[in-house]
């Protein structure tokens, strides 16, 4: 197969096809959507191809037949039936009160010019301009209008740090989107995309007929690349790259479909650079995510193998943003399993791949740790000390590490389980260097805090908090006994490697490590 142009940053379906770029054919899924219904909503993380999907829909309804030759939908579409397309993309900056309406009016004026319509100056607000142009496009063409909205939630996400402005933008958009439903007789098809899933009550109460396909297994791969896509469409790019390393680094996003998918941006940059780097992660700094974790008291240790009810994954609104919903919708956690209990669906969440696991933990340490500049070197040094069984030096290095971490989060009364944060910082330090780490593995008697497999040895760890320094020895005894009595290390005996029970006790008043004790079994 001949190599083609990599469509990096190309969100125009026409440009992609005319330049003979690689293209993963999603038109069979698109055709099924159109046959099945008329009003859809899709949430996906950034850089997942949502804009290209909307542009493909736009070209399809506009009748761009030449662009679809050779694709699945070509012979199953009526190319004589063309519809006017109204596409809005909220990709501006919305930090000032007037920004949102100004951007909407500017976009609608652009559509008026392209369609040869006179500006409707008498309609001086965004909702009125929208209602007006839907009516005029319908009457000009005699066809119903296709409405495509990209990044519907960005005007709210931009100002989440300012709750009053966020609420104002949300309330404005609620009325704006309500115009679409109120003009149902003028509208043929609606597709709305974004990152977050704001509840219908808070944002889409006026457009409550949208069908949310974000977790519909049938459309799990409507954005993103599958393994099959890489092995067929992108086959010319694979020579010279380790196929299993590609899977480990970038595969793993799962929205309940049969296959996991890759983020397209990662794959295209990998093929361009030929290097395994955090391409997607580096396109956005999740500062708000880190701050929310601190505010909610969620340790990085608790992110792996996390359980959440399905309704919690869509609990997202101004002033009510859960960590599970935030991490899932932004792409830092994905679905790895599901279970129905008592008529309620629960999801198991975890990091999708190595890129996200390494990068997120590294970013969190840099966000939290004022003096933790060389995160990977810290982790490597701590692992070397454990491998050499230098436990006193390990404790000394760990104290120095925590001494460089600011403790603003400890002053918050809602963060009662401080040991989880200490353990989480150590966990994040290890995760940044990719060591074999097992977190909270269950036994019949409980769950271990952390198990590290390194240097041909097993380190089963338990963390405790001492209210006072005098309690240190008793806390160490409890931790060692808990690891031994609950059998946290039993499953590793077949490895034939030395097993160390490792207890670490932190002081609530001292705000640092008090002591470490190891026991070889």
Better pLDDT: 101 or 425: 101
Q: What is the DSSP annotation of 338-360?
A: EEEETTEEEEEEE-SSHHHHHHH
- Which range of 81-85, 414-418, 438-442, 446-450 scores highest in mean pLDDT? It is 81-85
Q: How confident is the model at residue 444 (pLDDT cuts 50, 70, 90)?
A: very low
Better pLDDT: 84 or 450: 84
Say which range, 28-32, 203-207, 303-307, 329-333, has the weakest mean pLDDT.
203-207
Say which range, 60-69, 101-110, 274-283, 419-428, has the weakest mean pLDDT.
419-428
Judge contact between 136 and 117, C-beta under 8 A.
yes
* CA geometry: angle 100, 106, 110, nearest 5 deg: 145
* Helices and strands (H and E) in the chain: how many: 17, 17
The Cα 430–Cα 490 span in angstroms is: 22
pLDDT digit string, tens, across residues 357-384: 999 998 888 887 654 456 668 888 999 9
The Cα 375–Cα 416 span in angstroms is: 26
Looking at 2.60.40, 3.40.50, 1.10.150, 1.20.120, the CATH number of the domain 25-219 comes to 3.40.50
Domain ranges of the chain: 25-219, 285-350, 388-520
Residue corresponding to tokens 């974790």: 293
Query: What is the model's pLDDT at position 21?
Result: 97
Residue 279 has pLDDT above 80, yes or no: yes
The Cα 280–Cα 362 span in angstroms is: 15
Task: Look up the pTM and report it.
Answer: 0.90
**Hey, which residues does 459 pair with through a beta bridge?**
452, 500
Q: Which residues contact 218 (CB under 8 A, 6 or more apart)?
A: 29, 32, 257
Name which of 185, 183, 188 is nearest 57 in CA terms: 188
Q: In this structure, is the dihedral angle defined by the CA atoms of residues 230, 235, 236 and 239, taken in order, positive or negative?
A: positive
Q: Which residues contact 214 (CB under 8 A, 6 or more apart)?
A: 41, 42, 43, 44, 197, 255
The tokens for 7 are 């469509």
The Cα 127–Cα 143 span in angstroms is: 21
pLDDT digit string, tens, across residues 3-47: 999 999 999 999 999 999 999 999 999 999 999 999 999 999 999
Say which range, 118-132, 295-309, 409-423, has the weakest mean pLDDT.
409-423
* CA geometry: angle 212, 213, 215, nearest 5 deg: 110
Q: How confident is the model at residue 191 (pLDDT cuts 50, 70, 90)?
A: very high
Note the residue count of the chain. Answer: 521
Judge contact between 145 and 86, C-beta under 8 A.
yes
Q: What is the DSSP annotation of 400-440?
A: HHHHTS--GGGGSTT---HHHHHHHHHHHHHHTTT-EEEES
Looking at 3.30.70.2190, 3.40.50.12780, 3.40.1350.10, 3.40.50.300, the CATH number of the domain 388-520 comes to 3.40.1350.10
Q: How confident is the model at residue 414 (pLDDT cuts 50, 70, 90)?
A: very low
**Hey, which residues does 500 pair with through a beta bridge?**
459, 520
The Cα 18–Cα 366 span in angstroms is: 44
* CA geometry: angle 80, 81, 87, nearest 5 deg: 125
Residue 412 has pLDDT above 60, yes or no: no
Residue 206 has pLDDT above 70, yes or no: no
**Beta pairing class for 39-43 and 187-194:** parallel
Say which range, 63-77, 239-253, 292-306, 462-476, has the weakest mean pLDDT.
292-306
Query: What is the model's pLDDT at position 415?
Result: 46
8, 18, 21, 94, 270 from 4: Cα distances, Å: 12, 12, 5, 38, 15
């Amino acid at each position: 197969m001949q190599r083609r142009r990599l469509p990096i940053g190309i969100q125009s379906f026409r440009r992609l096809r005319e330049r003979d770029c690689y293209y993963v054919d999603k038109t069979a899924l698109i055709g099924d959507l159109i046959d099945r219904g008329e009003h859809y909503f899709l949430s996906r993380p950034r850089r997942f191809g949502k804009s290209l999907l909307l542009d493909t829909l736009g070209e399809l309804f506009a009748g761009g037949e030449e662009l679809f030759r050779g694709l699945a939908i070509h012979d199953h579409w009526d190319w004589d039936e063309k519809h006017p397309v109204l596409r809005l993309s909220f990709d501006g900056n919305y930090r000032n009160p007037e920004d949102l309406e100004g951007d909407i009016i500017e976009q609608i004026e652009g559509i008026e010019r392209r369609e040869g319509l006179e500006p409707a100056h008498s309609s001086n607000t965004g909702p009125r301009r929208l209602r007006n142009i839907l009516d005029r496009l319908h009457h000009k063409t005699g066809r119903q209008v296709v409405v495509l909205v990209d990044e519907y939630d960005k005007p709210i996400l931009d100002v989440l740090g300012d709750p009053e402005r966020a609420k104002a933008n949300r309330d404005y958009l609620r009325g704006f989107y309500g115009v679409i439903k109120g003009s149902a007789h003028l509208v043929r098809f609606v597709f709305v995309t974004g990152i977050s899933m704001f509840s219908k009550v808070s944002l889409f109460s006026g457009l409550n007929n949208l069908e949310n396909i974000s977790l519909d297994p049938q459309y799990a791969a409507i954005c993103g690349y599958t393994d099959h896509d890489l092995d067929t469409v992108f086959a010319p790019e694979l020579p010279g790259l380790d196929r299993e390393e590609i899977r480990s680094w970038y595969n793993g996003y799962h929205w309940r479909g049969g296959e996991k998918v890759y983020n397209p941006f990662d794959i295209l940059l990998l093929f361009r650079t030929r290097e395994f780097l955090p391409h997607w992660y580096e396109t956005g700094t999740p500062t708000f995510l880190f701050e929310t974790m601190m505010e909610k008291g969620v340790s990085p240790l608790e992110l792996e193998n996390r359980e959440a009810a399905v309704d919690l994954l869509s609990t997202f609104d101004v002033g009510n943003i859960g960590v599970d919903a935030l991490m899932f919708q932004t792409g830092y956690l994905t679905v790895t399993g599901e279970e129905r209990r008592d008529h309620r669906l629960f999801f198991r969440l975890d990091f999708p791949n190595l890129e996200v696991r390494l990068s997120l933990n590294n970013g969190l340490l840099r966000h939290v740790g004022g003096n933790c500049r060389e995160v990977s070197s810290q982790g490597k040094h701590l692992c070397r000390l454990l491998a050499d069984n230098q436990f006193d030096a390990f404790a000394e290095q760990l104290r120095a590490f925590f001494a460089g971490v600011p403790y603003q989060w400890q002053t918050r009364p809602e963060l009662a389980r401080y040991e989880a944060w200490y353990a989480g910082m150590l966990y994040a330090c290890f995760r940044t260097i990719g060591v074999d780490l097992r977190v909270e593995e269950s036994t019949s008697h409980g769950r271990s805090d952390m198990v590290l497999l390194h240097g041909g040895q097993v380190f089963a760890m338990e963390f405790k908090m001492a209210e006072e320094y005098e309690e240190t020895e008793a806390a160490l005894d409890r931790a060692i006994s808990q690891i031994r009595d609950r059998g946290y290390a039993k499953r590793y005996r077949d490895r034939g490697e030395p097993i160390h029970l490792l207890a670490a006790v932190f002081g609530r008043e001292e705000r640092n490590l008090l002591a470490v004790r190891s026991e070889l079994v």
